[in-house]
Each structure stands twice: as C-alpha cells, then as structure tokens.
Structure 1
Amino acid sequence: MHNEYTFRKAQISDIPEIWIILQKAIQRRKEEGSKQWQDGYPNPEVIQNDIEKEIGFVLTDNQKIIGYTAVLINDEPEYARIEGKWVTDEDFVVFHRVAISEDYLGKGLAKIMIGYIEDYALQNKVYSVKADTNFDNHAMMAIFDRLGYVYCGEVYFRGSARRAYEKVLDLKV
C-alpha cells in the first residue's frame, strides 16, 4: 500500500492530535536522558500560537496527523547572535519543534518532513534552510548530516546552547 503523505498548514482543530505527538516526543527525549523539551516547552499554547501565525505545519498519512513542525521565513532573532558563522546571510527558512508520531518512528519521516520544508523554501524563492538542535539530540544531528546540512556554530534558546545548521538549496530548474 502506497502512503499518501501530505504536508499542510495546521489548523486549530489539529491541536489535540499535535499535542499527543509532542507529549510523546517530550517523554521520549526525557527517557533518552535529554534536557531538550524538559522545561515546559513546547506546550499547547505554543502550538496554538504557531497555528494562529500560520507557521504550524503537519505531516499527514491519509489525513492522519503523523508529524508536526513550525516553519518560519527570516524569523529567528537568536540566529543573528550565532557563535560561529552561517554559510549565507540571505533570506532563510527556519524550522523548529520537529516531532513524529510514536507509531511512525523509524520510517524516515523526519527526513521526509524536512524535504517538504525545503520544497516550501524553494516555493517561496528562499534558498537557505537553517535549524538547530540540542547537543544531545544525536538522531537529529545524524539527519542533518545525512541531508547535507552544515554545522555552523551555536545559538542560544532559553539559556541553553544549541547546535546550529544550515543547508543551501540548489536551484531546481
């Protein structure tokens, strides 16, 4: 059976499903011994705010929500204060809060979702994608490496250093 993945803007009615996915991801990070997402963030208010600002996106499989992320264009003030150097100083897309449903782990869906984010960037004529992750999120760091993201330095969120990455997208003809 062929999966019908779609990537679309999240709606307010999606919050309960998104929150279940995020709660399980928060718990997974805790069980892995991570400090990421262990400080009350993200939470349902953050998701609602994402959706109201039209930056919340879901990955779906035949209408079922299986992943969540926030995608912004040129909107990450902390990135201006990188300790290191970005590859470009051009417009950029940034994504945060990547979470995949417990039932769909290990299927490469974070990579698929990041592919959709890169497509979204190109559709908006933006050729740089930036992201960051916790120093102990080895799974995400491995995904960044596999997808050609370059480690650029450190950025700080809520007092914690995070590894910052950038990928310059090829112009698809």
Structure 2
Amino acid sequence: MDIHFRQANQNDAAAIWTILQHAILRRKNDGSTQWQDGYPNPEIINNDILKGAGYVLVQDQTIIGYTAVYFNYEPAYENIQGKWLTNNDFVVVHRIAIGESQIGKGFAKLILKYVEQVALEENIYSIKADTNYDNLPMLRIFESLGYQYCGEVFFRGSPRKAFEKILKP
C-alpha cells in the first residue's frame, strides 16, 4: 500500500471537497456545531490550494485525506484566552478530514505526523491547532499525539480549544 503526503493542486479540489462534505455531515450527525455554518466551503479549499497550504494524503493514487498547513499565520491565535507554550515560528494545521471509507484507520494521526515532518523540514518546532469543544475524535487525537491544551481561541464568534505541540529537532 503506497501512502504519501503532498501539496494539493487544482486537480485535487473536487476530491477534497467531497471528503470535506462527508466530514461536515459526520460532525452534524455527531451532534456537533463545528462546520455547520457554511465553513469550510469550496472557496476556502481553493484559497488553501492557491496559497500552497492545501495538503492531501494519497493512498494508491486516491486522495483519502486533506488538511491545510499555514506557516506563522493565524490571526485568531493572537488573541488566545490562555497562553501558548512558545512564541516562536509555528505551523498551523486546519481542516483535517479523512475520506468516508477510511475513517477509524489512523489516517488523521498520520496526517499530523506528516505535518510534523513538514514543520521540521522548515526548522519549525511548534505546531498549533484548534478544534471544537464537541469534536471528541479530534480531541482524543491531539491528546494521543502529545498536544497540550493552551486555552481558547475564537473563530466566527465561537470558542475553540487551542493546542500546541513542541517538536524535537
């Protein structure tokens, strides 16, 4: 089984949007308010790709996962109610989503491991992320991978739990 992680391109947009639509529905079916307000949407995905921030997890030439990876940029993180572990360069990871047929196989964790590699290749030793209070699968993943809870940040008027992981060089 060939699995790799790469930057997304415009040809990937439809597959990414399909994955995200299923993830949006999963959040709704779980009773979550996360991603139930028209976000994310195809325009967000297009912007990620244009900015070089969209990444896909590919298994045997099929896109099975998506995330956005930004360097040193997330305005909402400037106003944390709490305290980040570091104030150095950081990678932000947003919109982790796994294809419907691949749920529960550890691929979200694998994406985060690949994001760690991307950060280290850029000599960045901090990853920051957030999720909704009721996104229990993502909260468990952050805990299992050593992310530390740092406080709350706000997106579109809603609080999110904010996490940071410090990487070893």
TM superposition score normalised by structure 1: 0.97
Deviations 1:12-63 (A, max 9, x none): 0111111110000000000001000000000011100110011000000011
Q: Find the partner of 2:108 among 99, 107, 110.
A: 110
The equivalent residue for 1:140 is 138
Q: Percent identity?
A: 58
Q: 2-side partners of 1:40 and 1:79: how far apart?
A: 21
Q: What is residue 35 of structure 2 aligned with on the other side?
A: 37
**Residue 92 of structure 2, aligned match among 74, 91, 94:** 94
**Distance in 2 between the 1:117 and 1:5 partners?**
14
The CA RMSD measured in Å over matched residues stands at 0.5
Matches within 5 A, 1:23-34: 23-34=21-32
1:155 and 2:153 aligned: yes
Give 5+ residue unaligned stretches, structure 1. Answer: none
In structure 2, runs of 5+ residues without a counterpart are none
Give the secondary-structure state (helix, strand or coil) at the position aligned to 1:14.
helix
**Which string of whole-angstrom CA distances, capped at 9 and with x for unpartnered residues, describes residues 110-141 of structure 1?**
00000000000000000000000000001100
Aligned to 2:65: 67
Runs of 4+ off more than 2 Å: none
Given residue 71 of structure 1, which amino acid in structure 2 is its aligned partner? V
1:120 aligns to what?
A: 118
TM (norm. structure 2) is 0.99
What letter is aligned with 1:53?
K
Give the number of aligned pairs.
Answer: 169
Q: Residue 25 of structure 2: SS of its match in structure 1?
A: helix
Select 2:74's aligned residue among 73, 76, 98: 76
Instruction: Name the residue aligned to 1:169.
Output: 167
